Amino acid sequence: MFHIVLHFLVPAIVVSVFFRKNWKWAYLLMVATMLVDIDHLLASPIYDPQRCSIGFHPLHQLWLVVLYAGLVFPAKTRLVGLGLLLHMALDAIDCQLTNGVWLQ
């Protein structure tokens, strides 16, 4: 449960520090990147607290994380890229805390 709260709290902190001028839009875009978790619907079971998302789910592959990092550089995709990177980082931290590994 705390992991899910972090997916809302960490973007709020980032937005409050770096994107104060347009904080509502920035927060909405960064939280919208949680839609990347739609790939969890392809797994059976859909939720497994012992499963590491990174490297397991299709949209959580390492090569895509590199692509997400590339989205940070153009201004038009910066918030989406940052939101996706934060999401992947939080998922990787969760993997480490629950399973002692950074990826599947």
Domain boundaries, the chain: 2-99
pLDDT of residue 49: 82
Please report the pLDDT score of residue 27 as a whole number: 97
Condensed to tens digits (0 to 9), the pLDDT of residues 7-52 reads 999 999 999 999 999 999 999 999 999 999 999 999 999 888 888 9
Alpha carbon distance 87, 20 (integer Å): 20
Furthest CA-CA distance within the chain? 42
pLDDT score at 102: 74
Determine the Cα–Cα distance for residues 85 and 66; give it in Å rounded to an integer: 9
Comparing CA positions, the residue from 96, 94, 98, 104 lying closest to residue 3 is 94
Whose tokens are 């972090």? That residue is 6
Which tokens go with 64? 């895509």
Q: Tell me: the pLDDT tens digits for 49-79?
A: 888 999 999 999 999 999 999 999 999 999 9
Q: What is the pLDDT of residue 103?
A: 65
